[in-house]
Each structure stands twice: as structure tokens, then as C-alpha cells.
């Protein structure tokens, strides 16, 4: 399970060192990952989890333009990568550009995948989320989870 927040730096070549806890999890998946972009950050999946996720995305109804665009963005950027011996991943330039990854990044767990954010963008996103009143949607989700 990917959880927690980790501050890291992406180097000039686009390499970012992964948290040790995340590396240990990825070793179980032969260090193969899939990176894509959505919501202003990068989504990073172990390969096996990506295949499951991709099948769910494929099964979504694609009748609406919004859904087709979601699928296009998510799948067009999907790039398979490996974790090197130093525990780093090389983030393709196209994905670094989309997610505005220049130097300071945040790696944050999302249970079955993790995200890589520009640190300033992540801070703004978290502040906005914390300053907003809980929405009815969040209350419904928590209720569904029995929390």
C-alpha cells in the first residue's frame, strides 16, 4: 500500500528518487510502472495495478465527450517505465511539462498507486481542500465507507 507524503527533488535529467517504502512495494512488481497524468499531477501505478485500472477505464461508457476526453488524456500519456538500481524513475519530458515538474516535488501515496506533484501546486491543492467546507459528496462517501 502506498501511503504518506515525501518531499523530493527531480534532477535536470528528469530523474526522481522514490521513497524507500515505495521501492520495496515496487520490487514485488519487478520495478515496472506506468506513469500517466491527470488532475495536474502524475499518477504512478505498478504495472499489474495499471492493467486492472486500464480495464476499468476501457469499460467506462464512452458516449459522452467528457468521458472520451478523460480516456484520451489518461491513456495517451500512459508511459511504461522501470525503477533503476538507485531507486529512481526517469519521468519523460512530456509528462514533466504537463505536471510542471521542475525541481521540488511531492510524492504522495494513494493506496494502489502514488502521485508526483510540483510541490507548490500540491500545497495549493491541499490548502484549498482543507479550507473548503466538506461537501455532500464527501459526506456521502464517508457514510458509504461507514466512517
Q: Per-residue pLDDT for 138 more than 70?
A: no
- Listed in sequence order, the DSSP H helices in 17-92 are 20-27, 47-59, 65-76
How far apart are the C-alpha atoms of 75 and 88, rounded to whole Å? 23
pLDDT in tens, 104-135: 999 999 999 999 999 999 999 988 887 776 66
Residue ranges and CATH numbers for the domains of the chain are 5-120 (3.40.1550.20)
**pTM, entire model:** 0.87
pLDDT bracket for residue 139 (50, 70, 90): low
- What does the pLDDT look like over 12-61, one tens digit per residue? 999 999 999 999 999 987 879 999 998 899 999 999 999 999 898 888 88
Amino acid at each position: 500500500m502506498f501511503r504518506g507524503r515525501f518531499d523530493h527533488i527531480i534532477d535536470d535529467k528528469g530523474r526522481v528518487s522514490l521513497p524507500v517504502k515505495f521501492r520495496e512495494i515496487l520490487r514485488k512488481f519487478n520495478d515496472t510502472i506506468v506513469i500517466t497524468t491527470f488532475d495536474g499531477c502524475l499518477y504512478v501505478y505498478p504495472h499489474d495495478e495499471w492493467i486492472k485500472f486500464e480495464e476499468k477505464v476501457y469499460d467506462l461508457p464512452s458516449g459522452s465527450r467528457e468521458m472520451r476526453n478523460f480516456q484520451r488524456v489518461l491513456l495517451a500519456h500512459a508511459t511504461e517505465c522501470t525503477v533503476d538500481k538507485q531507486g529512481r524513475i526517469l519521468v519523460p519530458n512530456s509528462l514533466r511539462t504537463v505536471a510542471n515538474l521542475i525541481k521540488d516535488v511531492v510524492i504522495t501515496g494513494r493506496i494502489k498507486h502514488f502521485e508526483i506533484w510540483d510541490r507548490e501546486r500540491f500545497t495549493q491543492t491541499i490548502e484549498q481542500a482543507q479550507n473548503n467546507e466538506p461537501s455532500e459528496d464527501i459526506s456521502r462517501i464517508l457514510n458509504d465507507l461507514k466512517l
